[in-house]
A = this chain, B = another copy of it.
């Protein structure tokens, strides 16, 4: 099976690619080739199958068609303009987050022959290799509202409080309808805020969630823009990759028409994160983090729901989040040294 990762040069795309290289298979099918596609050309990857690295604009259907060749059985769609950037540049968010997703649908649809398309959802029951391509789409908790008071049930409506969340909810609707029509076979994962991210702060409004733990672990000061009782729905990079890989291979017949998954993340307050930091790295690390209010960031994240019921996903095989201290220890094991080296290199 041919696999393509859109956003394959990014943080999660890179880790998922490494996971696929290690597994060499998805859902019991051997991977015969992988395309990593991103705005900037992704770095080469060692794998037991050929890996192509392509640069291009996800909203350009002719470029995208090269990234998703005939025979593609799986596309993981991670390419997105993130929250604060989509809020700052409306047109860019619309183009990448909506037109990019529509372009993906149009490419997948052309991969499926007219005969097979006419089968509609029935085509999803065909044997592997004859099915419409599986698409794993990263949606977001930002597509829901409710804020700090929320305990979002699986059947909650999406009433987004920001453009990024609206564009993700729209992507889910487009892909679910394309699935119903037999163009593709989507699983949409509403990812929690992923932490601890390595690297530097980025334009995601949630950037502080990682920074408040990562920077002190590097011995550096960190700021958090919200109060200590502020709760965030989070998951580790390891779990995010577990969920994406599971969605790539799972039996979608169990999903029915509802293709949106709220995975079993963790509701964590800033205070709980700082307590875990102190437990793992000592009081001197904890002391490096302090509260500096930022109204602009707070305005965006205040609308994001603090907790989800996530009752459906475990029964579908999505594993639960680790506790905070385990997430921190995994960051130390997986990323701390590389992050430190990057910083020292400038």
Bound-state CA distance A98–B102 (Å) is: 11
* Residues on A facing B (Cβ under 8 Å): 90, 94, 102, 145, 155-163, 166-167, 169-170, 173-174, 176-177, 180-181, 257-258
Please name 16 further chain A to chain B contacts, defined as beta carbons within 8 Å, in addition to the given A166-B173, A170-B174, sorted by A numbering.
A90-B181, A94-B102, A145-B257, A155-B157, A157-B157, A157-B158, A159-B176, A159-B257, A160-B176, A160-B177, A162-B180, A163-B181, A166-B174, A166-B176, A170-B170, A170-B173
Closest chain B residue to A109 by CB distance? B90
**Chain B residues whose C-beta falls within 8 Å of the C-beta of A169 in the assembled complex:** 173
Copies of the chain in the assembly: 2
Minimum CB–CB distance from A16 to chain B (whole Å) comes to: 28
With CB as the reference atom, state the residue of chain B lying closest to A169.
B173
- A161 near B181 with CB under 8 A, answer no
Q: How far is the CB of A335 from chain B (nearest CB, A)?
A: 34
Q: Which residues of B contact A159 (CB under 8 A)?
A: 176, 257-258
A65: min CB distance to chain B, Å: 16
A47 to B180, CA, bound (A): 46
Which residue on chain B has the smallest CB distance to residue A156?
Answer: B157
A166 CB contacts on chain B under 8 angstroms: 173-174, 176-177
8 nearest CB pairs, A to B: A157-B157, A166-B177, A170-B170, A166-B173, A170-B173, A163-B177, A169-B173, A159-B258
The distance in angstroms between the C-alpha atoms of A90 and B182, with both chains bound, is: 12
**Given A90-B181, A166-B177, A170-B174: A161 touches B257 (CB 8 Å cut-off):** yes
Determine the chain B residues whose CB is within 8 A of the CB of A173 once the complex forms.
Answer: 158, 160, 166, 169-170, 173
> Chain B's nearest CB lies how many Å from the CB of A199?
29
The answer to whether A161 touches B174, judged by C-beta atoms less than 8 angstroms apart, is no
Contacts of A156 in B (CB 8 A): 157
Identify 7 residue pairs between A and B in the complex whose beta-carbon atoms are under 8 Å apart, listed by A's number.
A155-B157, A160-B173, A166-B173, A166-B176, A169-B173, A170-B173, A173-B173
Most buried by B among A158, A170, A180: A170
Q: Specify the chain B residue showing the minimal Cβ separation from A155.
A: B157
Give the CA-CA distance A94 to B181 in the complex, in Å: 14
The smallest C-beta distance from A259 to any residue of chain B, in angstroms, reads 9
Residues of B contacting A160 with CB < 8 Å?
A: 173, 176-177
A87 to chain B, nearest CB (A): 9
